[in-house]
Amino acid sequence: MSRSDKRKSRRRQLQASHQKNWLIGRYAVTEALRAAKWPFEELYMSDSLTASESAEVEQLANDAQISARHDSTDRLSELCSAEHHQGFAARMGPYPYETFEQLRARLRDSGASDSSLAPIVVVCDRIQDTFNFGAILRSCDATNVTAVVIGGDQQAGVTPQVARSSAGAVHHLPIVMTTHLVDIVVELKKSGFQIIAASEKADDSLWTCQLDGPTALVIGSEARGISNELQTVCDNHVSIPMMGRVNSLNASVAAGILLYEIRRQHNS
């Protein structure tokens, strides 16, 4: 099998795993147990694992009062529709999204804290690719984003596939899902946040924009960008300077660049 075929096969396996809400792999399962945020419905471990290989997951599961079932490696592959589970597979319950009221409380707490970092809220508008969404969340965790807000329509939600793409960031980030994305952005604006839209068509360059203070960064879908309704409530549209022949970046790369520039300005 060629490398290309292997990548396609792995992607199909991940998609099958995602559809059944199975979180697989030693690291992914361990991180979810350690974070104790996302509820487990079932936890399986291969009976071919050695005691040292299974010890940490066993202990974490016991501490969380989760019963781990032991079965054959083939049975685990059958359950989660993937063969690269490394002997660990967990069927997850619904992801615990936060409410906007909880976000308000977080923002009040961040304003009252002694932290030198101004709050950042990332708003994802119709990011449908789960790998892209996971990578955005990974950058959000790396830059200490206060919260992520996503729409409830035409937007990838948090799934095991997103969890793997985020390297576990979904377990540590407050994520709000709402059917009123524009209303939340307007509320953030009233609370003193500057609303920044990432757009390759913007006249203002990232290198010349002032991005200090509380910031809400809006990232739109690669196919359609940010919705017109959201664009109208943004304070500024910012582009990333492109110096090659390709004139755009994917959403996750753009988000990472913008977030680090925002944090650089916060720290300067």
Domain spans in the chain, listed from the N-terminal domain onward: 3-92, 100-267
Q: 184: phi > 0 → left, psi -120 to 50 → alpha, else beta; which? A: alpha
CATH architecture of 3-92: 2-Layer Sandwich (3.30)
**What pLDDT score was predicted for residue 167?**
92
Q: What are the residues whose beta carbons fall under 8 Å from the beta carbon of 48, sequence distance 6 or more?
A: 72, 73, 87
Burial degree of 227 (CB within 10 A; 0-12, 13-18, 19+): middle
Q: What are the residues whose beta carbons fall under 8 Å from the beta carbon of 175, sequence distance 6 or more?
A: 95, 97, 98, 137, 147, 148, 149, 150, 158
**Contact call for residues 75 and 82 (beta carbons, < 8 A):** no
Domain 100-267 in the same topology as domain 3-92: no
Query: CA-to-CA distance for 155 and 151, rounded, in angstroms?
Result: 6
**What pLDDT score was predicted for residue 152?**
87
Burial degree of 25 (CB within 10 A; 0-12, 13-18, 19+): buried
Structure token digits, residue 136: 């955005």
The SS3 call for residue 17 is helix
Longest Cα separation, the chain: 59
**What pLDDT score was predicted for residue 64?**
94
What dotted CATH number matches 100-267?
3.40.1280.10
The parts of the chain modelled with pLDDT lower than 70 are: 1-20, 111-116
Query: CA-to-CA distance for 185 and 188, rounded, in angstroms?
Result: 5
* Predicted confidence (pLDDT) per residue in 76-106, tens digit: 999 999 999 999 999 999 999 999 999 999 8
**Contact call for residues 65 and 36 (beta carbons, < 8 A):** no
Q: What are the residues whose beta carbons fall under 8 Å from the beta carbon of 34, sequence distance 6 or more?
A: 60, 171
**What pLDDT score was predicted for residue 18?**
44
